[in-house]
Amino acid sequence: MMILRAIFLWLPTAIPLMAQDFSALARVDMSASQIIDTRRGLSVELALSQVVPYRVYMLDAPTRLVLDFKEVDWTGVSEPALLNADRATGLRYGSVETGWSRLVIALSTPLLIDTAGVVVDQNTGTAQLSIDLAPTDPETFAANAGAPVDPTWGTPRFPAPPENPDGRLIVVLDPGHGGLDPGAQRGGVKEADLMLTLAREVEDALRRSGQIVPVLTRNDDSFVSLDARRKLARAVGADVLISLHADALTEGQATGATIYTLSDEASDLASQQLATKLSRDDLLAGVDLTGRDDQVATILMDLARQETEPRTATLAEALVEGLGQQGVKLNSRPLRRAEISVLKSPEIPSVLIEVGFLSNDADLLALQDPATRNRFVGGILRGVLLWSISEAKTDARRLR
């Protein structure tokens, strides 16, 4: 059997010459779409309202099939309707970055792409994407897994540093999750949506302070990897990164605002659970962790971290103080540590605020209430300003 490592399809030049609107999104026709077991493997059928460029590849640990499209509207798609197979255990779908879409199929067993192709109906312009997967062994799978290297697909485009003539603090606000990673969900509430709302409210308050230039890592419902969020902060010259979350944690009955800073060792079980959960969210959304260059320049990064660590600790304390002053309900142990990759910038003080936990009824209600959110907004602003005062004092001491 020929092994196809990854398959690309770019817009064919000879597609039906009819009223094709390529700016429109392709819709999924659920009546002609399904993911089912075959005799030995798996069959993926997706009926699209028009042909779009796509690519398909496998990722390992966990075993996944990833389909990227330019671009699909997932309205009406549901996992129970689409997925009816034992060799596939779950789906994630949604936008990954403005301009493209992703479907991730979690596999229960190693499978490789046997055939993949699109048939376009000459009369209607609709497209049928068919992928057949055949069984393989874990070693062959691992050897063939990995995202294809193509800079035009999914390489995040980072914004340039913002205009900042009077040298204000640049604060990157990072609303957690988004796109095919909704984060915690409870009673119709998605953490990704809630955090975007909160981040926009904080952004507004920081800007109005006249002392801070805020930048958001995402300003729509699209997926951005933890790594890309960190890199964006660096690209815009951030002085501070504040990641906003409200996860659902089962460990230790988490409730109340909690501020996490980076550590290779989790401060407790709940912190460990959070770190594992966040990196798993990234993986399930189709992030390829093979071939990462994080080990490069480790010593230099360690040196920079030594300098940044006390500043990060001061930032976390200032945020606890600011939130407390605004009457925000804090966790009984509001300062915690965990190995979370979005916090790994060696030179930028970075914190992750769990503003509350969607797993807790009181927190869930509080976060949906604009008046309560306003306390978070005030508390974060207050915390950042308190921190900047202490930074200015440190700078002044250094200059003496």
**How many helical (H) and strand (E) elements, i.e. helices and strands, does the chain have?**
8, 20
- Cβ-Cβ contacts under 8 Å for 193 (sequence gap 6 or more): 182, 221
CB of 88 to Zn ion, least distance (A): 25
Among 125, 178, 183, 322, binds Zn ion (CB under 5 A): 183
Q: Which is nearer to Zn ion, 168 or 218 (CB)?
A: 218
Among 247, 288, 339, 391, binds Zn ion (CB under 5 A): 247
Q: Which is nearer to Zn ion, 145 or 358 (CB)?
A: 358
DSSP lists the bridge partners of residue 138 as none
Q: Which is nearer to Zn ion, 254 or 319 (CB)?
A: 254
Q: Which is nearer to Zn ion, 53 or 176 (CB)?
A: 176
The separation between the first and the last C-alpha atoms of the chain, rounded to the nearest angstrom, is 73
Tell me which stretch binds Zn ion (CB under 5 A): 93-101, 139-147, 181-189, 213-221.
181-189
CB of 226 to Zn ion, least distance (A): 10
Q: Which is nearer to Zn ion, 63 or 225 (CB)?
A: 225
Question: What is the spatial distance between Cα 382 and Cα 373, in angstroms, rounded to a whole number?
Answer: 14
Q: Which two tokens stand for residue 313?
A: 């600790």
CB of 362 to Zn ion, least distance (A): 18
Tell me which stretch binds Zn ion (CB under 5 A): 60-68, 126-134, 176-184, 331-339.
176-184
DSSP lists the bridge partners of residue 97 as 100
Closest by CA to 14, choosing from 113, 98, 122, 111, is 122
Compute the C-alpha angle 59/64/68, nearest 5°. 80
CB of 286 to Zn ion, least distance (A): 17
Closest by CA to 214, choosing from 168, 156, 260, 157, is 168
The answer to whether the bond into 62 is cis (omega within 30° of 0) is yes
Q: Which is nearer to Zn ion, 41 or 176 (CB)?
A: 176
CB of 197 to Zn ion, least distance (A): 14
Among 175, 176, 179, 383, binds Zn ion (CB under 5 A): 176
Q: Which two tokens stand for residue 319?
A: 């945020």
Q: Which two tokens stand for residue 21?
A: 């609107």
CB of 256 to Zn ion, least distance (A): 16
Among 190, 245, 337, 382, binds Zn ion (CB under 5 A): 245
DSSP lists the bridge partners of residue 389 as none
**DSSP secondary structure letters along 273-295:** HHHHHHHHHHHHTT---TT--TT
Binding of Zn ion by 182 (CB under 5 A): no
> One-letter amino acid identity for 100?
W
Contacts with Zn ion: how many residues (CB under 5 A)?
Answer: 4
Instruction: Mark out the alpha helices in 286-341 (DSSP H runs).
Output: 298-325
Q: Report the interface residues with Zn ion, using CB under 5 A.
A: 176, 183, 245, 247
